[in-house]
Structure 1
Amino acid sequence: MARNSGRVGDLPPPPEPLAVPAVDAHCHLDLMDASVDEAIAAALAVGITRMVTVGIDLPTSRWQAEIAAAHPEVRAAVAIHPNEAAAGVDEATFEALTALARADGVVAVGETGLDYYRTPPEQHAAQQESFRRHIAIAKDTGRALMIHDREAHEDTLRILAEEGAPERVVFHAFSGDAEMAKVCADAGYVMSFAGNVTFKNAEALREAAAVAPQDLLLVETDAPYLTPVPWRGRPGGPYLVPLTLRLLAQTRGTAVDEFAAAIAANAERTFGPW
């Protein structure tokens, strides 16, 4: 199964392979402009040997879990995306999601969280309630919590504190500044940076990446979205992680091989062994 991403243009060419294997901490294999087998093969060819594919509702979460069960390179995250949760989520859905989160190959509850960019204020309460339920599911199932936080930093951090965060928390496509990175670091939250950190106007993101502790960093694509420079706007895939990883290593003044090894170790510590 592959659903067109709606992005413009052909898939970018592959980057120079990494010498040390790394991980794509967040992608959507169901939205690729390539088959799952093609996406995995392209990633393996450049040194991205593992990836986490992420659901946004119950049907896509089930699909991710099935793909993870069938492909040893893949693990799954399952959740109701905050934009999907804005109109409310019924109890049966939460029960089904909890059962799915326990499946072999599922390593995270996500992406969940808050998105105030696309959601009007009158629907914030429904998003917040869904987020609280997802936190409980993550703790109940022992999975990492994968957070989508868009223009909602204060409430996201507040709800995590009020509910008591799970042992492992990942801010997917981290969107905060250096000060928020320090807050997350103090709490032990992992910060996963996507291709938008390479964008010309993303200086605040690069400043955040520079101050975050290395053992709390992950790299992701959010593919097919947030494709890194120089291919911004084109459909992406896990095989483009090396572009973002190299930019982050340069930003931090770290050797690429050392940084790739750290990312791989962080992914295993966050999601468990593949």
Structure 2
Amino acid sequence: MSDRGAPPPAPEPLGPLVDAHTHLDACGAVDAASVRAIVDRAAAVGVGRVVTVADDLASARWVVTAAEADPRVWAATALHPTRANTLDEAARTELEALARHPRTVAVGETGLDHHWPGRLEGCADVGTQEAAFRWHLDLAKRVGKPVMIHDRDAHADVLRVLREEGPPETVVFHCFSGDAAMARECVDAGYVLSFSGTVSFRNARDLQEAALQVPLEQLLVETDAPFLTPHPHRGRPNESYLLPLTARALAVLRGQDPAELAAATTATAERVYGL
């Protein structure tokens, strides 16, 4: 019988680590007890803190509640680009209040997604996404918190909007997916690049080249759970406890000691998010 749908086994511990981007609600958390269970599994392998990220307004409310329920959990609140068509005045008012919450450490995820328009029913078109992205950038500047970027098949336009609007003090590219040239441009601009399990995929040569361009002080690691499970469990359910696999793969790629990379990315997360 295939175990493809079963949770992978826990890896060897590595820490300290911060999961810079996960979705606890999409991982099955529904209340304080289930949030605690997920974070307990992560803490057992060295992942002591997580940032759980919203994709719609209901999720934005939920991630703040989750962060209030467990001191190891922090929140990022925004409307995902594909949900940008729900950014009405009431949503703007509520999102601003949630962004100002003391357990919210970033405005995100926001940005541009050129993959889903025309493929996903109800997905916001590119123009609507860009208007919402600009609003979220302004919000991040007004509340003084980092912006967490979603960029899917939209590299040039995301960078263009950041230039046109002027970025907040801190910009984090969640699940960075560009090549080495884009990584260098982002590093030169002072942006922080976060790498997920995709960097461990055997066919991710361009992304791996990009990961070599990033100084430790601009580097984060994340799961984007329940998605993007790292090798060798690609295609199985992801969760924060699997982050050591990504951190180790990244360390091997960069020729660094895994413990050094873990400590450095944790220091970056603490600085960027004020943990």
* TM-score between both structures, scaled by the size of structure 1: 0.94
1:26 aligns with 2:21: yes
Distance (whole Å) between structure 2 residues aligned to residue 171 and residue 117 of structure 1? 17
Distance (whole Å) between structure 2 residues aligned to residue 193 and residue 245 of structure 1? 9
Distance (whole Å) between structure 1 residues aligned to residue 47 and residue 273 of structure 2? 16
Q: Can you list the C-alpha shifts for 1:77-106, whole angstroms capped at 9, x where unaligned?
A: 000000111x35212111110111001210
Specify the SS of the correspondent of 2:212: helix
Identify the residue that residue 9 of structure 1 maps to in structure 2.
5
Distance (whole Å) between structure 1 residues aligned to residue 133 and residue 28 of structure 2? 30
Determine if contact 2:83/2:124 at 8 Å carries over to the other structure.
no
**Which of 121, 127, 136 is matched with 1:125 structurally?**
127
Q: CA deviation at 1:10?
A: 0.9
Q: Can you list the C-alpha shifts for 1:14-43, whole angstroms capped at 9, x where unaligned?
A: 00001x311100000001146212110100
Which runs of 5 or more residues in structure 1 are unaligned? 1-6
Determine if contact 1:69/1:104 at 8 Å carries over to the other structure.
no
Which runs of 5 or more residues in structure 2 are unaligned? none
Q: Can you list the C-alpha shifts for 1:30-57, whole angstroms capped at 9, x where unaligned?
A: 0114621211010000000011000001
Count residues in correspondence: 265
1:269 aligns with 2:275: no
Superposition pairs of residues 1-274 of structure 1, within 5 angstroms: 9-18=5-14, 20-33=15-28, 35-85=34-84, 87=85, 89-120=87-118, 123-273=125-275
Specify the SS of the correspondent of 1:206: helix
The runs of 4+ residues in structure 1 deviating greater than 6 Å are none
Distance (whole Å) between structure 1 residues aligned to residue 21 and residue 124 of structure 2? 29
* TM-score between both structures, scaled by the size of structure 2: 0.94
Distance (whole Å) between structure 1 residues aligned to residue 229 and residue 259 of structure 2? 22
Distance (whole Å) between structure 2 residues aligned to residue 54 and residue 8 of structure 1? 25
Distance (whole Å) between structure 2 residues aligned to residue 140 and residue 132 of structure 1? 12
Q: Calculate percent identity across the aligned residue pairs.
A: 54
Distance (whole Å) between structure 1 residues aligned to residue 28 and residue 166 of structure 2? 39
User: What is the CA RMSD across the aligned residues, in angstroms?
Assistant: 1.5
Q: Can you list the C-alpha shifts for 1:203-226, whole angstroms capped at 9, x where unaligned?
A: 111110011111110000000000
Distance (whole Å) between structure 1 residues aligned to residue 114 and residue 225 of structure 2? 22
Q: Can you list the C-alpha shifts for 1:119-156, whole angstroms capped at 9, x where unaligned?
A: 24991110000000000110111111000000000110
Residue identity opposite 1:117 in structure 2: H
Determine if contact 1:192/1:217 at 8 Å carries over to the other structure.
yes
Determine if contact 1:227/1:236 at 8 Å carries over to the other structure.
yes
Determine if contact 2:42/2:241 at 8 Å carries over to the other structure.
yes
Q: CA deviation at 1:201?
A: 1.0
Specify the SS of the correspondent of 1:29: coil
Residue identity opposite 1:26 in structure 2: H
Residue identity opposite 2:81 in structure 1: P
Q: CA deviation at 1:8?
A: 5.3
